[in-house]
Structure 1
Amino acid sequence: MSSGKPTGADDGRGDKRFETLSVTYGEEPDLSGGVGDVTSPIHLASTYAVDGIDMDTALEDLDPDEDEFLYTRLSNPTRHAVEKRVAALEGGDHAMAFASGTSAIVSTVMAAVEPGDHVVAFEDLYGGTNTMLKELFRDKLNVAVDFVDATDPEEVRAAATDETALLWMETPTNPLLRLCDIEEMAAIADECDALLGVDNTFMGPYFQRPLELGADVVVHSTTKYINGHSDSLGGVAVLSDDDYAQEIGFLQQVGMGNVMAPFDAYMVLRGMKTLPLRMRQHETNAAEVAAYLESHDRVAAVRYPGLESHPQHDLADDQMDGHGGVLSFELDGGLDAVEHFVAALDEFTLAVSLGGVESLIEHPASMTHSPLPAEERAELGITDGLLRVSVGVEHPKDLLADLERGFEAVADAASNGESATDEATETAVGDD
């Protein structure tokens, strides 16, 4: 597993390894005021006193590392600690924390393209990102967007043109757990003088660090694994190029002002302290759940990079330090079986999102990917029988027992000739 030192700027990181950086980096105790907080306090102030008038200092010259703060939209001590730590974990020089993962993606893409430019994106993206690229960038901002099967580098290469300014990838993808070769994507981006952006939310920096593989920028929904407790909303962009960072920072602080709130920053800082421990348990549990599902006769297919049956298992081993805690599987019986299955679960909560310590299950066709037209979902392989699972850190035997309850409910319904629709109608009539 990941215990090596992330590469990037050596600004006090020294030879510290991932586990150490995740606990302490960015919030070293400050004894100058006689307090010495071991954890960074929540700085709720919206504005900060300054020593005096200085006509020679511009806003962009303020240095949070030197405790120079003016206004929380521009910089905040708690948020700055998050940005320093995530940059260190990803091996980047700069990080900007946003109010959500979506706002991090919007600002990162907007800083990379202008009207008339071209974007090549993985076809199997999170539904919100897919919709954003189409309805905001393509339809409103006059940016051409092509969606391709990025599991095949030659499809990406064929789609790239002289106008291509950005390749946008998720790996693994949501919800089908498909991978792209990050090093190959970086080579293609170099060929057409484009930037490569990678959404690393599913793996987090513990299992995958795209900057080390040639990506120009990495984004996360910190709502997921980085925070890890389903109680904070946020996003972050990490990169090392100074000019690109300045463009993203402008959008974060001035152009949109869509910054991570101090309380959310505090929660993310707290969550990162246990990131390595959580990720190890997520993976251990997910591997056991995936193996159980793959052996079940009511499951048509399981998608998890840790399984040897995954078509890109070797690539996963090459570019990742682990296989993560998310999987998806195809349940025989379609939507009716899905409804009976999820209704019988106790430990797996039916809910969107992922990466928290609790196990969640969701139905992409009716939840995360419902904005996509049905025919587009079908083309991608998002069927009515597909379920995505975010495996938590509970005891794996309890999780397997819960899944077995779901399968038993499906079997009972099938043997009795029941459908979930019939049951819903009977309940409604009875309530009347």
Structure 2
Amino acid sequence: MVNKDIQLKGKGTVAVHGGNEPDPNYAHLTPIYASSTFYFDTAEQGMERFAGEDKTRIYSRWGNPSFKVAEQKIAALEAHGITGADGKPLQLKALLHASGQAAMATMFLSNLSAGDKVLTHYSLYGGTQELLTKVLAENNIETVITDLRDPELAAAAIKADKAIKLVHIETPANPTLQCVDLEMISGIAKQHQLLVTVDNTFATPYLQQPFRYDVDYVFHSTTKFLNGHGTAIGGVLLGKDLEKMNSRVWKWYVLLGGNSNPFDAFMLTQGMRTLELRMERHCSNAMAVAQHLDNHAAIEQVLYTGLPSHPDHTVAMKQMKHPGGMLSFEVKGGVEAGKRFINRLQICTRAVSLGTVDTLISHPASMSHAGIPKAEREKYGITDGLIRMSVGIENIEDIIADLDNALQ
């Protein structure tokens, strides 16, 4: 067991050792604590647990030792190498949820009230956009959408509406890979005392650490790259205001009932151990695929932040270690050509979601963004012919051969 006082130098080491807790039975890996409740030796011990900040040994809706290790590992990755305002290593609190949507709901509902507004940008994940414009809207929390890549538009939107209390950023965005300058937008938001929240699912803390830019909350769908194997659904919410995270945010988390479960937490912890190795391969494969398709006669356009042709290439390279493992592209010939391409694939997997070790290909317009009206989708660059690709860790020659065969 690595001494917690040691400052680990590499994120790969953090992914393996960060957050680990010694097990009383000396298990090498954190066990699955499949218990709904935990007993107390004495009444006084029960009182101490209820009064303390560590709620992992009371009731599993409140917390669980299996959750705790996953939470601490993600917090260690997101905070790695960052110092807080006090000059000490940044401390974060993480809450493990049943899904990314649950983590996002806790994030918004614990920080917004009826009459408040959220400022965000277009080309968001479909579930995020529907949560904002349907669920929150029915609770009198409105959403203002502008192009947050333009600092003048962002500043103008904030100045024009005093009801805006929170700025939400998804970068890279799903599925167009649009990137927002975290430093710039967070700086503008902080001038007006607004909260800043970031969806870091596509990048993972290995490629991008939003807390470097003074944001307030980061969340992930842990189902994706953090788990890496498609074995469990999950989400995590991280915050740097520890007092608020341990009080108001934790209370919403508990009362909404969006907690994770011990098995999924265990699978997530094991998946994260190989995060660095997987992300390096995802990124190198994605770059090779993007460069290959960018010169392919059957492809209209490729959207990948690693290509200089992507409009947000400079921003992505400024705040990300690598461009990532996600890309989108448009097949010439529209929807029918896209359908033929998808149906002819033999190695790449036809499935929604992303971040698994195998390559996944989906059609956003009919799948992840099906709930968004067509006119709205197309305005945001999500056309009927757009294909989203989560590039896996297979040998690159096999991925490219499969794509070429399907594009013939």
The TM-score normalised by the length of structure 2 is 0.93
Deviates more, 1:86-95 or 1:239-248: 239-248
Contact 2:49 2:58 in 1 (8 A): no
2:201, 2:225 within 8 Å by CA — same for their partners in 1?
Answer: yes
Q: Which runs of 5+ in 2 are unaligned?
A: 80-90
**Rounded Cα–Cα distance in structure 1 between residues aligned with 2:267 and 2:8:** 26
Report if aligned partners of 2:171, 2:178 keep a CA contact under 8 Å in 1. yes
Partners in 1 of 2:65 and 2:176 — Cα distance? 38
- 1:93 and 2:81 aligned: no
Q: CA deviation at 1:57?
A: 3.6
CA deviation after TM superposition for structure 1 residue 63, in Å: 2.4
CA deviations over 1:121-172 (Å, ceiling 9, x no partner): 111100110001011111x210121111122122222111322111011001
**2:249 corresponds to:** 248
Shift of 1:59: 2.4
Which is worse superposed, 322-331 or 45-54?
45-54
Listed one character per residue, the Cα deviations across residues 213-257 of structure 1 (whole Å, up to 9, x for unaligned) are 22111100000000000111000011211243132211212x212
Give the match for residue 4 of structure 1: none
Aligned 8 A contact 1:26 1:81 in 2? yes
After the TM superposition, which of the residue ranges 17-26 and 74-83 deviates more from structure 2? 17-26
CA contact (8 A) 1:210 1:218 kept: yes
| Inter-CA distance 50–76: structure 2 relative to 1 (3 Å threshold) | same
Could you tell me whether the CA contact under 8 Å between 1:13 and 1:88 is conserved in 2?
no
Q: For 1:166, what is the secondary structure of its paired residue?
A: strand
> Amino acid of the residue matched to residue 31 of structure 2?
P
Alpha-carbon deviations, 1:371-392, whole Å to 9, x = none? 0011111111111110000000
Superposition deviation, residue 13 in structure 1: 5.3
Q: How many Å separate the matches in 2 of 1:84 and 1:330?
A: 40
Q: Percent identity?
A: 39
Deviations 1:40-98 (A, max 9, x none): 0000011111021138547251525xxx6111111100001111110010015100000
State the AA in 2 paired with 1:156: A
SS at 1:112 equivalent: coil
Cα 1:336–1:352 change in 2 (3 A) is same
1:17-416 counterparts in 2 under 5 A? 17-30=10-23, 33=24, 35-54=25-44, 57=48, 59-63=50-54, 69-91=57-79, 92-138=91-137, 140-160=138-158, 161-245=161-245, 246-253=247-254, 255-408=255-408
Larger Rg: 1
For the 8 Å contact 1:351–1:361, the answer to whether it is kept is: yes
The AA in structure 2 aligned to 1:73 is: R
State the alpha-carbon separation in 1 of the partners of residues 242 and 53 from structure 2. 16
SS in 2 for 1:301: strand
The CA deviation at 1:26 is 2.0
2:281–2:393: 8 Å Cα contact kept in structure 1?
yes
| Equivalent in the alignment of 2:85 | none
Q: Which SS does the other structure have where 2:365 is aligned? A: coil
Please say if residues 219 and 236 of structure 2, whose CA atoms lie closer than 8 Å, have aligned partners that are also in contact. yes
Q: Distance in 2 between matches of 1:100 and 1:333?
A: 36
Structure 1 gap ranges (5+): 1-9, 409-432
Deviation by residue 1:308-347 (Cα, 9 ceiling, x = unmatched): 1111211111111111100000111000101110010011
Aligned CA distance change for structure 1 residues 16 and 29 (closer, same or farther; 3 Å): farther
Q: Do the aligned residues in 2 keep the contact of 1:78 with 1:266 (CA within 8 Å)?
A: yes
CA contact (8 A) 2:38 2:58 kept: yes
Go from structure 1 to structure 2 and tell me whether the alpha carbon gap of 1:52 and 1:305 turns closer, same or farther (over 3 Å shift). same
Query: 1:40 is aligned with what amino acid?
Result: T
Shift of 1:28: 3.9
Question: Is the alpha carbon distance of 1:218 and 1:113 closer, same or farther for their aligned partners in structure 2, counting shifts above 3 Å?
Answer: same
Q: Is the 8 A contact 1:124 1:149 kept in 2?
A: no
Structure 2 Cα separation of the partners of residues 250 and 146 of structure 1: 27
Secondary structure of 1:270 counterpart: helix
Q: Secondary structure at the match of 1:322?
A: coil
Amino acid at match of 1:87: A
Superposed CA deviations along residues 18-56 of structure 1, whole A, max 9, x for unmatched, are 1111002222443xx4x3111100000111110211385
Decide whether the 8 Å contact of 2:165 with 2:194 is kept in 1: yes
Kindly state the Cα deviation for residue 191 of structure 1 after the two structures are TM-superposed. 1.8
Q: Are the equivalent residues in 1 in contact too, given 2:316–2:323 (CA < 8 A)?
A: yes
SS in 2 for 1:305: coil
TM-score of the pair, normalised by structure 1: 0.88
